[in-house]
Each structure stands twice: as structure tokens, then as C-alpha cells.
Structure 1
Amino acid sequence: MKLLEKNTDAGILILRLSIGILMLLHGIAKLSSGAGMIEQIVVGAGLPSFIAYGVYVGEVIAPLFIIAGYGTRIAGAIFAVNCVVAASLAHSADIFTLSQSGGWAVELLGLYFFGALALVFTGGGKYALSRKHLWD
């Protein structure tokens, strides 16, 4: 039972792998299908179209850094900002609504956001590729 006693670093590793891998799958889908849909949403909001390509930073690059545990705090912050942008551009009508099953309509996005925010505060933990700098 010693293994289960306050192993915060294992918990941080599980969090890093969970949100990193799951968001990376979204990013891979966007890599294969392109950013056309995102670009339409961005332009529809009156923003320059090149901003749509930031989705690759937030859904591919940041998750890879989070998974590796390199620059975890900065990658988590980028990931969290990506979630806020997605919520404001694509899910703004759902932010204050519940789904048919009674859950928050954007609960997956919320879990991603709060998981990334937790990593901003905790860093990558001892099972990270780097942990010597403030941004790790």
C-alpha cells in the first residue's frame, strides 16, 4: 500500500497523458482534414484567417509537450487558451446550458481547460522530461 500513499507525481503523469493524448487525437484529425472549418469560424467572427492555424499549436504541439513533460506549464497555458478560444468561437451558445443528460453542454472542453490549468500550477512532476525550469 506504500505505492498509493501520496504519489502526486504519478497523478500528474496520468493527468498529462490523459489530456495530452486525448487532445492530440483532435489535433491529428485536424491535420488530416485541414483547418478549413476552423478558418470559416474564425473569419465569421471577424478575425484574420491565419488565426485558424493556431489550432495546430493548441491541439498538436502543446499536447506533445504535455505528454513529454517538457515546458509543461507553458504548454498547459497554451492548451488552456486554445480551449477558451474554442469555447468562445465555436461553443459560445452552449457555455451556460446543460445537455439532454443533465451534464454541462461543454463538459469535455471544460475538462480539457481545467486539466490544462491544473498543469500550469503543478508543472510536469517528477516523471517529466524536464523539470528544472520555472516553465516546466
Structure 2
Amino acid sequence: MFSGINQLFVRMADHPEMGKLLLRLTFGGLLLFHGQFKVIHGVGWIARLLTQKGLPDFIAYGAYIGEIIAPIMIIIGLFTRPAAFIIAINMLVATLLVKSGDVWHRSDVGAWSLETEALYFLGALVIMLMGAGKYTLVRDTRLQ
């Protein structure tokens, strides 16, 4: 009985290309909120953090690439794998700059303090490994 129910559910829910699209739209869309914040408030605070760590402050402008340009590329399916790689690097740098002291901390409700950062980093890696899929504005010629 459970096997039959499971098989029915698998037949109804087996849409990996739609799953890739949903992942890309959700991931890219949510990351754009972070980019919008940087557009409105600037990246001066990031530049100051970089300077404190002995790094050049112009690196702060990479946040625009990692949080606006790359997410848009992921949403439309243009150079999806390189864009996802850029986001993964962006998240790694952001985490090391802002939250590196939180690796072993948990929130008041028991969540890992780096939960959001981990989701974005690993989500970017998943998109990089899976690619854009079938539903894109720019089609990968290998898929035709």
C-alpha cells in the first residue's frame, strides 16, 4: 500500500526541470534583496571592514556583482554556473568578514548562527553543479 502511494507521489512530483527553475527563481530573487540594500545604502561599511582586515577597499564593489548581477544571471539562466560560483565566493568572503566569530554559536531557538549564509553558499554550489536546466532565456546548446 505505501509503495503504491509512494509511486503515485513520485509520478506526480517528478519534475526536475521545474525544480531547477523554482530553485533559481527563489535563490536569485531572495539574494536580490541583499543587493537592493547595497544599492540604497552603499558598500562603504564593507569597505571599512576590508580595510580593517588589511584588504583593499575596492573589493567591496564585488558585492554588487555577487548580489545583483549574478542573481539576475541565475534567474534568467545566463552563464548560470559561473554566476553561482561568483555567489558562492561572495558568500564565503561576506561570512569571513562579518560573521566568522559565529561559527560555533546558535540562536535563541537553537538554529546555527550561520544558517542563512550556509543556505546561500550551498545553494549556490547546488545551482553550479546542476546548471540552469531546461527553462532559461538563454538555452545551453548541449541541451538541444
Give the match for residue 62 of structure 1: 70
* Larger Rg computed on CA atoms: 2
The normalised TM-score by structure 1 is 0.92
The Cα of 1:5 is off from its aligned counterpart by 3.8
Q: For residues 139 and 107 of structure 2, what CA distance do their matches in structure 1 show? A: 39
The SS at the match of 1:83 is: helix
Describe the shift of the 1:70–1:4 C-alpha distance in structure 2 as closer, same or farther (beyond 3 A).
farther
Contact 1:24 1:60 survives alignment (8 Å): yes
Q: For residues 133 and 57 of structure 1, what CA distance do their matches in structure 2 show? A: 26
Greater relative contact order (Cα 8 A, min sep 6): structure 1 or 2? 1
Name the amino acid aligned to 2:59. Answer: I
How many residues align? The count is 134
Give the match for residue 132 of structure 1: 140
Q: For residues 41 and 132 of structure 1, what CA distance do their matches in structure 2 show? A: 39
Q: For residues 28 and 70 of structure 1, what CA distance do their matches in structure 2 show? A: 20
Name the amino acid aligned to 2:47. Answer: E
More helix by share: 2
Is structure 2 residue 17 aligned with structure 1 residue 26? no
Is structure 2 residue 132 aligned with structure 1 residue 121? no
After superposition, give the CA deviation of every residue in 1:83-113 in whole Å (9 maximum; x if it has no partner). Answer: 1001111110112221111011011111111
Q: Within 5 Å, which residues of 2 pair with 1:31-42?
A: 31-42=39-50
The SS at the match of 1:26 is: helix
Give the match for residue 50 of structure 1: 58
Q: For residues 102 and 131 of structure 1, what CA distance do their matches in structure 2 show? A: 42
4+ residue runs of structure 1 moved beyond 2 angstroms?
Answer: 1-5
The Cα of 1:129 is off from its aligned counterpart by 1.9
The Cα of 1:133 is off from its aligned counterpart by 5.6
Q: For residues 4 and 73 of structure 1, what CA distance do their matches in structure 2 show? A: 28
Q: For residues 111 and 81 of structure 1, what CA distance do their matches in structure 2 show? A: 13
Listed as ranges, the gaps of 5+ residues in structure 1 are none
- Matched residues, percent identical? 43
After superposition, give the CA deviation of every residue in 1:13-40 in whole Å (9 maximum; x if it has no partner). Answer: 1111111011111101101111111111
Listed as ranges, the gaps of 5+ residues in structure 2 are 1-7
Q: Within 5 Å, which residues of 2 pair with 1:36-115?
A: 36-115=44-123
The Cα of 1:3 is off from its aligned counterpart by 7.4
The Cα of 1:122 is off from its aligned counterpart by 0.4
RMSD across aligned C-alpha pairs, in angstroms? 1.7
